[in-house]
Structure 1
Amino acid sequence: MTEEDGKTQGMKVLGILDIHNTPCAREAILHGAAGSVAAGLLHFLATSRVKRSFDVGVAGFMITTLGSWFYCRYNNAKLRFQQRIIQEGLKNKVFYEGTDLDPTLKKTGDK
């Protein structure tokens, strides 16, 4: 990681994924690493087959990484959507405050 013009370059995985600037990337890779070790080790302890255990570990890495990535990205998207709705509501509250269209004012009228 070098500094150029005051910017720090992030660490890239396989030269394409900048894990410092990509949301959820670091956590997904760490979860994937733990998942691969767990899956490979459990398969090795159960079967004592080294090559197959390695393959299971790689598959465990891919599945755990992608699962963690999509779960985190889904939660981030849901949070951004909720924030957008709240911002629109606050904007409308400020816009309509004190007018006849203000939904917080109780209308008293003859029925």
Structure 2
Amino acid sequence: MAGVNNKDKEPLPEIPMPLLNDPRPAPDSDQVVSAFKTLEPTRDFSTMKKSPCAKESFIDGAAMGLGVGLLKAMRSGANRSAANWGFGAFVLMTVGTWEYCHFKIRERRQLMASGQMPVVNTMDIDVAKRREAIAARQRDV
């Protein structure tokens, strides 16, 4: 280029080339196979409903997927494309709400551990609500 003095410029930093002999071992196929052997779909899916965020995440994901799929179908008329959009929205919304829910749980646990948030026993709250409801019914009778 004319008028540019290349002698005053700093040299570009060197970009490291990928290592051909990476010191980290590649995962063996035996490790992958043993990881898949630990999966038990009947046990894993039956205990999923006990997870604190599963129900809300799947409901939100299903609602979002259905909504996006229906809107896409009404707008374009391509059912296959609408199904793909709906399924994609379902997966993204489910994973997103799952992660957000677990983030809030971790945040609450950190606040409780640091003493900034009181630890509340929900069983005590439920018992107190039941007692109030019973007392209200007895007053009505």
Displacement over 4 Å in runs of 4+: none
Relative to its length, the structure with more helix (as a share) is: 2
In structure 2, runs of 5+ residues without a counterpart are 1-40, 117-141
Task: Please tell me whether residue 48 in structure 1 is matched to residue 90 in structure 2.
Answer: no
> How many angstroms apart in 2 are the aligned matches of 1:51 and 1:22?
33
Q: How many residues matched?
A: 74
- Secondary structure in 2 matching 1:40: helix
Is 1:68 equivalent to 2:97 in the alignment? Answer: yes
Identity %: 26
Alignment TM-score, normalising by the size of structure 2: 0.49
| 1:69 positional shift | 0.3
- Length-normalised TM-score, structure 1: 0.62
C-alpha RMSD over aligned residues? 1.5
- Matching of residue 27 in structure 1 with residue 56 in structure 2: yes
Structure with the bigger percentage of strand: 1
Output the CA distance in 2 between the equivalents of 1:45 and 1:19: 34
Gaps of 5+ in 1: 1-13, 88-111
CA deviation vs aligned residue, 1:43-99 (integer Å, no higher than 9, x gap): 111101000001111101100100100010000100010001118xxxxxxxxxxxx
Matched with 1:39 is: 68
